[in-house]
Structure 1
Amino acid sequence: MSVDDDSRLAALYDAHGPSVWRYVVHLTGDPAAADDIVQEALLLAWRSPHILAQEPASTRSWMFTVARNLVIDEARSARRRHEIGVAEMPERVQHDATDALFESLLVEEALVTLSLEHRAVIVHAYYGGCSIAEVARRLGVPEGTVKSRLHYGLRALRLALQEKGVTR
C-alpha cells in the first residue's frame, strides 16, 4: 500500500466512517460490533484498489452496502446463533417404547387364550412372515385349513383383545 493509498483510506474513513458506524449501530444495537464492521469494510476497501482509486465521496453507497452485507453475514454466522462445535455427536433421542411394550403384552396375553391350532397359524403367518402355503407345509395341514384357522383365530383374537379393553 502506497502513501497515496494510505491517505485515500484515511480520507475514506474520515468521510464515511462515523456515518457508517452509526448506521451499523442502528442495525445491530452493538457499538463494539459496529467498530468491527467498519474496520472490516475498510479492510475490504484496502483490498480493492479500484475503490481507493475513486474519490472518497463516490464510495459512500459502497461502504453502506458492504457494511449492511457484513451485518447480515454476522447475523447468519454460527457465532451469532451461539452454536458450539463438539467433539462427538450427542445421543439421538429415542421415542418412548412403553406403549408398544404394553400393546405387545396385551397381544401376548390374548394369544394365550386361543386354541393351540389357531395360535400356531397366527404366529407363523403374522410373526413368522410365512405365506399360507408355507404355514400349511410347516404345520402339515391343507392350505384351506390354514385359511380357516387364520380367519377364526383372528376373530377370536379380536374378541380376546376387546375383553381386555382394546378397541379399534
Structure 2
Amino acid sequence: MDDTHHRARIEQIHAKHSLALLRYLIRFAGERHAAEDMLQETMLRAWRHRDALPGDENGVRGWLFTVARNVAIDADRMRRVRPAEVTLTDQNDSVAASDTPDSAIAAQEMVRAFASLSEMQRDVIRQIYFRGDSIEEVATRLGIPAGTVKSRAHYGVQAMRAAVSS
C-alpha cells in the first residue's frame, strides 16, 4: 500500500475510534489533557505499525484499545519514576458544566488537600506547579536552597496524596 492509502486509512480509523479511545483514556489518566496525549501516542503507534493493523474494523478497534491500555500503563510507570506533577484548579474557579460529579468531587478534594498544607509547602507547590517556575527560580525567589524547595514540594505532594486517598 502507498502512503496516501495508509494516510486515508489512519484518518478513517482516527475519525471512527478517537472519541471512544479518548473516553477510555480519560478513565486512566484522570484528566483530558493527559488522555489526549495518550490518544496521540496511540495513533502514532497505529501509523508506525500501519502494515500490521488488522483488516477488519473489530480487529482494529481491539488493537487500538490494547495499544491505548499499554500507553496508559507506560505513562503511569513514567509518572511513578519521575517527580510527581500536580494539577490543581484555582480555588476561585467554578466547576465546569461538563465536569462529572466524580471529577467535581475530586477537584474539591484536591483543593481541600492543598489547603491542608503548610504555607511554605503551598507556596512552593504554587510556584512550581501552577506558575511553572523551575526549582532554581523558586529557590532564588524564596532565598532558600534548591534542596529545600525540592523537599517541600516532595512532602507537600505526598501530604496531598495522603489527604486525597483518605
TM-score normalised according to structure 1 size: 0.45
TM-score normalised according to structure 2 size: 0.45
